[in-house]
Amino acid sequence: MALIVGADRFDRLFRAVRFDEVDGDVLYVYARDEDAAAEMEDEFALHISIIASKILDCQINSVLILPRLQ
């Protein structure tokens, strides 16, 4: 992801990310805050699903990125 996103942006967006669970074909991801979650979902959900599918060896069709509750 760092190669796709770029180092500075990767550090800002993915610094406190938690890839939590897979339910069926949905991957649940928790981001640092609402702004980071929205940006990640808008611009990188497809990339995350492709990479997660390869790592987990199962089809991930949706990535749901939510803000962490503080």
Q: What is the CATH number of the domain that holds 56?
A: 3.30.300.180
Contacts 24+ apart (CB under 8 A), 20-25: 22/52, 22/56, 22/58, 22/60, 25/58, 25/59, 25/60, 25/61, 25/62
Give pTM, 2 decimals.
0.87
Q: What is the pLDDT of residues 12-56, one digit of tens each?
A: 899 889 999 999 999 999 999 999 999 999 999 999 999 999 999
Q: Which domain holds residue 31?
A: 2-67
Distance CA(57)–CA(64), nearest Å, equals 19
Q: How many domains does the chain have?
A: 1
Asked whether the predicted pLDDT for residue 1 surpasses 90, the reply is: no
Count of residues making up the chain = 70
- Give dist(CA 10, CA 13) in Å, integer: 5
